[in-house]
A and B are shown apart, each in its own frame.
Chain A
Amino acid sequence: MSSVSVYSDNDGSVSVSSDQGDASVISTPSSFRENRFSLKRTGQRPYTFSGSEICTSTSHSVGPALWYELNVYRSHEGQYIVEIKMFNKNGKFKDRNSVFEVSSIEELSSFLEHYDPAGDISNNVSLEGDDMPLSLLALEGIALKIRIEEARNQFKDLAGELLYQLNSH
């Protein structure tokens, strides 16, 4: 079940057209008020700011082994904060959280259009020792390539959807 939903902080949730199946209602975010946010970042201290949440999106679905969440905030100073979260269903691989700051919707659009999710993919295959069969090594290589392609495709589809909803030009 997929859905695209638009929310209002005044009149509750409003479902809009979804061309991929039944619409479903997701809990209304308690956003659009000035809040203090602390966003997790992999390998760095949290990114903290005051502002409001503009948009949340997720590509989570049954089939793929990973999914993305893209959240956009606007800081009190007028900057746009992009939060990119990549999750793995297999605990063997690490999730990744990144935060970026841009100054306008135009810059946000350009940033999402040029972001390469390949950097979010970790590979936990240990290449130490000589006992790894060549066939398994080849399979792991193929699997890594597939994971990168899947991340790129999911990010592209989600970013396209988000930019469409933001009515970016």
Chain B
Amino acid sequence: MTSVNLSSEFKQQAQQNEKEPVSLAAQDRVGLEFSAPVSYAPVKVKRSGKRPFTFNGMLLLKSETHHNSNSLGSPGLRIWETDNKGFVAQITIRNSSNACLPSNTVLEADTMEDLLVKLNDFDPNGRFVFPMENLENIKQHALRDTYLSYQKTADQRQKAYQNIVSQLLLQNAKNTTLRKVNS
């Protein structure tokens, strides 16, 4: 059971920045959810291995994929525009099962184009849970089956992530085209 327990002294301080800047109705739909711009607000996002990243931002989109118990993880993506006109993306990878803590990666860029390049370069398969034990007793076919199973999962995760990024690229291309037509 994964958990973090905090004593009361730090609870009050920790709750100050809990609220999301924008609430989105549908949370578990496949694909991108674009939010209507509201206003900049303080944002605090988790980063694996690092202290949280804080900034003033406006949530532009949120993407979640359905969790499949047979898969090792489904990527989630959130993108904000910051008050200094930069962009921040948080990629959440769920590992192994709901019991595991998700891995969170934060990317920053000055422009949306730069952010898209970084998102495109990101490897969603950076984390795998691979419990290899009792190797002296493992059979060759069992090892092969395990390898094939993980390879399949890696492919699924890669495709799910690429699907999200490609939708984002498409949307950005459309917006760019519209901007050119209107100018």
Contact = CB atoms under 8 A, between A and B. Distances in A.
Interface in A141-169: 142-143, 146-147, 150, 153-169
- Specify the main secondary structure of chain A where it touches its partner: mixed
Interface stretch (B32-40, B130-138, B161-169, B172-180): B130-138
A4 B13 CA distance: 16
Interface residues of A, number: 66
B1 A26 contact: yes
Nearest to B104: A160
Interface stretch (A41-49, A59-67, A94-102): A59-67
Contacts, number: 195
B107 to A, nearest CB: 15
A122 B7 CA distance: 33
A53 interface: yes
Contact of B133 (A58, A90, A169): A90
B96 interface: yes
Contacts of B129: 63-64, 150
Nearest to A10: B8
Given A6-B11, A160-B48, A64 B131 contact: yes
A7 interface: yes
Contact of B5 (A2, A5, A59, A139): A5
Contacts of A59: 2, 100-101
B105 to A, nearest CB: 10
B72 to A, nearest CB: 9
A113 B40 CA distance: 29
Given A153-B127, A165-B14, A26 B100 contact: no
B42 to A, nearest CB: 12
A134 interface: no
